[in-house]
A = this chain, B = another copy of it.
Amino acid sequence: MQVSISVVMVAMTVIDGELTVAVCKRGSAPLKGRLELPNLPLTAADRLAQTAADVATEELGCPAADLELEQLSAHGAAKRDPRGPAVSIAWWTVLDAPTDQEGLTYLPVADVPTARLAFDHASLVSEAVDRLARDLRYTTVATRLCDDLFTMAQLRRVYEVVWGVELDPANFHRKVTGSTGFVEPTSKVSQGGPGRPAQFYRRGEARDLVSPITRPTD
């Protein structure tokens, strides 16, 4: 059986202390005008990863080279598209800041249940948020939600926003700096805010954490 395949992207970023997801308005039928996740049709069978990169570059307005895209899952649907049966392959990624791509908006994930996203996109967001929350424990993905230079407090706020908890600053600092390859200290310090200036860090080489960051209320 021949089906058409679309590649869908769940791109998350933190804005004003809220976890948000990039969405755009559908420009054509079916469900014209409804919010949906950025996506593109697959144009060649051996271009799965390339099409995901294209979605990032063209729909998200962010060069794929700056991102780490990860495959999430594949879903089938019989009548998504009037032209025939379709399968969607979902990917996810995180951005250190919202892009200002034309037509793209960032929807707080807390508002997704009431935003009536097109097709099964609401469940894809929920799947991606679960995946991100899990990956925060075992990987260094949180550093990709921060700027190139970030303070320990900024990194900690990523965990607090995604997990919806408060973490002890002292223990978090010790845990992160004690995890080989998580962050690298720089000689720069923050300035301007209240309180003692904080040291800036940048991403370390590690992708996986040897010992996980404990998520409270486990």
Q: Could you tell me which A residues sit within 8 Å of B by CB distance?
A: 1-5, 41-49, 71, 73-78, 80, 84-87, 89, 210-211, 218
Contact = CB atoms under 8 A, between A and B. Distances in A.
A52 B179 CA distance: 40
Contacts of A75: 48
The 10 nearest A-B residue pairs measured at CB: A45-B85, A2-B2, A46-B78, A48-B76, A46-B76, A45-B76, A3-B45, A74-B74, A74-B89, A1-B43
Chain A interface, DSSP helix/strand/loop, else mixed: strand
Most interface-central of A44, A74, A85, A210 (chain B CB within 10 A): A74
- Copies of this chain per assembly: 2
A87 B5 contact: yes
Nearest to A43: B1
A71 B127 CA distance: 13
A218 B75 CA distance: 35
A127 to B, nearest CB: 11
A128 to B, nearest CB: 14
A42 B89 CA distance: 15
Nearest to A71: B73
A84 B1 CA distance: 11
A169 to B, nearest CB: 24
A47 B3 CA distance: 12
Given A87-B48, A211-B218, A218-B210, A42 B3 contact: yes
